Amino acid sequence: MMETARDVVAAALRPALDAAFPDWAAGGAVLEVERPKDPSRGDYATSVALRLTRHLRRPPLEIARAIRDNVATGEAVAAVEVAPPGFVNVRLAPGWLARRVETIVRAGPAFGRSTGLAGRKVQIEYVSANPTGPMTIANARGGPLGDVLANVLAFAGADVQREYYVNDAGTQIEVFGKTLAVRYRELQGATGLEIPEGGYRAEYMIDLARQLRDELGPSVGDGVSLEELGRLLAPRAIAILVAGHQRVAERFGIRFDHFTYETALMASGYFGETLADLRRRGVVEDRDGAVWLKTRELGEDIDSVLVRSTGVPTYFGVDVAYHRQALTDRGFDQKIDIWGANTHGHARRMKVAMAALEIGPKWQVIIYQFVRFLHEGVLVKMGKRTGQFLLLDDVLDAVGVDATRFFLLQSSADRSLDFDFELAVQQSNENPVYYVQYAHARIASVFRTARERGVEWSDGDLALLDHPGELSLIRACLRFPELVRELSETHQVHQLTGYASELAGLFHPWYKANRVVTDDVPRTKARLRLLDAFAVTLRQTLGLLGVSAPESM
């Protein structure tokens, strides 16, 4: 596992702290090493002296000085300084920083990888859009979030499965089928039929009916009731829509390793097994002909129905079984669901159910707030049933895959986003993703120039990289492995876009101010090696984001 620069600093500070204050840790403080916002203060800093003031009953500056006096400077740590009110600032040796270029280039596609989560089997479930309509920009937000989280966790060594759950049973499917049957009959010339209550009024249902008629022949469903026709048509329609979800997801750079169908889960008998387990644990109650999970006793406001009085399990009931299966029979150590904000009530009940099954700590949910859809500046309520929505396909046509992914990954999941289609099209060329990609393309262009002039730079002397700007670029690269480790714990993957912008924001001014390929051959070579490392870092970052790193644009 690669040691980060932060680790190196911590390893230098810890013995100093131990030597100066042998019992420092007894107060519960931990040695945290951070990057000062103002780089002139140093490369890394710790506020541990401030935190230890109470425990050691000594002034923070005095503690800080004692730490400083005990640090052994060396190859990496060049200087340690104390600043009021009690910070200990650490400066890394320029030569050591410059030599990191070699490490980064040699690591290449492995730069930032780690084994921190090795041996951990994680399932990430995301998108899982209802199979009753096409993929919209609202469903789509979970895609990049889940995909990038999967990338990050796999990068940190976990064994990750990307899972998609197809909710192809239940009341909504009945309504869906009935709507479809109505549209189908209409194609056969029927009039005066009503779309059922809560049905799917959107245009795509008519297209779907037409497609099914062409596929199955015009006489399908002759002589059967509307309900029966619905049950006949729904499975085929769902297959078409799920295939569509897969196609558009793939276009969006999102793949899945495994699909679970609710109908298959039901057919397996696993639901009954789960219900029996819950009964054994005494958290189930039969009342009014239905089967309830006693969520009320477990801290919720109301109980939750697992099986309706009709004998049909609820979505919640089946979902509990599905989660139990993943976290027991399928052997995952952890399951992370990426769900939309409308599921938070469901998520609360699920949490209770998982706790009752004693698998609570293994399950985690990331709830993302919705993407609100503005049309010509006016907020539009999206809903498949109402027919008002913005298709992911249309967004990708107009804005492009990279820009859409980057846009959706710029804010944290728990913040709602506004997507103004017209504005997005108009501004698609101003998306920050191009700023980042342009940095990569520019570096590629510098390499082309160097090659044209016959410069071979692999033997460049890194010791020549001693300008502040050059060292800043290296420092920025060294943050990448630190960030990956952080994200593997916090799951705040949107920070990768900010980091990518930071990299580009350092590069462009430096590029403007410094010519790389010049008559000074030694310096040219050293700088080309630096850019090699920088390009590696950009590619690694964009790679985790699922955004391309173009050689030219």
- 3-class DSSP state of 89: strand
For RNA, the closer CB: 112 or 313: 313
> Which of the ranges 38-46, 141-149, 263-271, 460-468 carries the binding residues for RNA, by CB under 7 A?
38-46
- The radius of gyration of the chain's CA atoms, rounded to the nearest angstrom, is 29
Please answer whether residues 540 and 482 qualify as being in contact, where contact means their C-beta atoms are separated by less than 8 angstroms.
Answer: no
Number of residues in contact with RNA, rule: CB under 7 A? 91
Q: How far is the CB of 110 from RNA (least distance, A)?
A: 25
Cis peptide before 85 (omega within 30 of 0): yes
Return d(Cα 317, Cα 111) in angstroms, integer. 44
> Which of the ranges 184-192, 217-225, 240-248, 506-514 carries the binding residues for RNA, by CB under 7 A?
506-514
Q: Which residues pair with 252 in a beta bridge?
A: none
Q: Does 32 bind RNA (CB under 7 A)?
A: yes
For RNA, the binding residue among 492, 539, 543, 548 (CB under 7 A) is: 492
For RNA, the binding residue among 195, 236, 435, 472 (CB under 7 A) is: 435
For RNA, the binding residue among 55, 251, 346, 539 (CB under 7 A) is: 346
> Which of the ranges 11-19, 177-185, 389-397, 505-513 carries the binding residues for RNA, by CB under 7 A?
505-513
- Applying the rule CB under 7 A, the residues between 92 and 131 that interact with RNA are 130
Q: Which amino acid is at 2?
A: M
Q: Which residues contact 32 (CB under 8 A, 6 or more apart)?
A: 46, 47, 48
Q: How far is the CB of 56 from RNA (least distance, A)?
A: 12
Q: Does 441 bind RNA (CB under 7 A)?
A: yes
For RNA, the binding residue among 23, 28, 38, 223 (CB under 7 A) is: 38
Q: How far is the CB of 191 from RNA (least distance, A)?
A: 28
- Angle of CA points 362, 147, 414, to nearest 5°: 70
For RNA, the binding residue among 27, 448, 466, 521 (CB under 7 A) is: 448
For RNA, the closer CB: 216 or 374: 374
Q: Does 54 bind RNA (CB under 7 A)?
A: yes
Q: Which amino acid is at 516?
A: V
Q: How far is the CB of 542 from RNA (least distance, A)?
A: 15
Q: Which residues contact 327 (CB under 8 A, 6 or more apart)?
A: 335, 354, 359, 362, 363
Return d(Cα 524, Cα 491) in angstroms, integer. 40
The binding track of 211-230 with respect to RNA, each residue x by CB under 7 A or -, is: --------------------
> Sheet holding 378-380: strands in order across?
378-380, 371-375, 417-420
Measured in degrees and rounded to the nearest 5, phi and psi for residue 166 equal -105, 115
Return d(Cα 336, Cα 124) in angstroms, integer. 5
- Applying the rule CB under 7 A, the residues between 152 and 181 that interact with RNA are 167, 170-172
Q: How far is the CB of 12 from RNA (least distance, A)?
A: 16
Q: How far is the CB of 199 from RNA (least distance, A)?
A: 12
Return d(Cα 204, Cα 200) in angstroms, integer. 9
For RNA, the binding residue among 258, 344, 375, 451 (CB under 7 A) is: 344
The binding track of 285-304 with respect to RNA, each residue x by CB under 7 A or -, is: --xxxx----------xx--
Q: Does 261 bind RNA (CB under 7 A)?
A: no
Q: Does 65 bind RNA (CB under 7 A)?
A: no
- Applying the rule CB under 7 A, the residues between 315 and 334 that interact with RNA are 315-316
Q: How far is the CB of 442 from RNA (least distance, A)?
A: 5
For the chain, what percentages of helix, strand and coil (3-state, to nearest 5) are there?
Answer: 55, 15, 30
Q: Which residues contact 252 (CB under 8 A, 6 or more apart)?
A: 140, 143, 144, 392, 396, 401, 404, 405
Return d(Cα 536, Cα 514) in angstroms, integer. 20
For RNA, the binding residue among 59, 108, 109, 345 (CB under 7 A) is: 345
Dihedral-angle region of residue 217 (phi above 0 means left; psi in -120 to 50 means alpha; beta otherwise) = left
- 3-class DSSP state of 121: strand
Return d(Cα 355, Cα 435) in angstroms, integer. 46
For RNA, the closer CB: 188 or 416: 416
The binding track of 509-528 with respect to RNA, each residue x by CB under 7 A or -, is: x-xxxxxxx-----------
- Applying the rule CB under 7 A, the residues between 534 and 553 that interact with RNA are 551-553
Please answer whether residues 268 and 173 qualify as being in contact, where contact means their C-beta atoms are separated by less than 8 angstroms.
Answer: no
Return d(Cα 177, Cα 199) in angstroms, integer. 9
Q: How far is the CB of 420 from RNA (least distance, A)?
A: 8
Neighbours of 156 (CB within 10 A): 22
Q: Does 37 bind RNA (CB under 7 A)?
A: yes
Distances (CA, A) of 10 to 14, 74, 397: 6, 13, 48
For RNA, the closer CB: 334 or 501: 501
Q: Which residues pair with 313 in a beta bridge?
A: 307
For RNA, the binding residue among 154, 446, 542, 545 (CB under 7 A) is: 446
Q: Which amino acid is at 10?
A: A
> Which of the ranges 100-108, 154-162, 351-359, 488-496 carries the binding residues for RNA, by CB under 7 A?
488-496
Q: Which amino acid is at 52?
A: L
- Applying the rule CB under 7 A, the residues between 354 and 413 that interact with RNA are 367, 369-370, 372, 381, 410-412
Q: Does 416 bind RNA (CB under 7 A)?
A: yes
Q: How far is the CB of 216 from RNA (least distance, A)?
A: 25
In the numeric block, which tokens belong to residue 260?
Answer: 């679970």
> Which of the ranges 229-237, 268-276, 311-319, 539-547 carries the binding residues for RNA, by CB under 7 A?
311-319
Q: How far is the CB of 133 from RNA (least distance, A)?
A: 11
- Applying the rule CB under 7 A, the residues between 236 and 255 that interact with RNA are none
Measured in degrees and rounded to the nearest 5, phi and psi for residue 128 equal 35, 50
For RNA, the closer CB: 2 or 441: 441
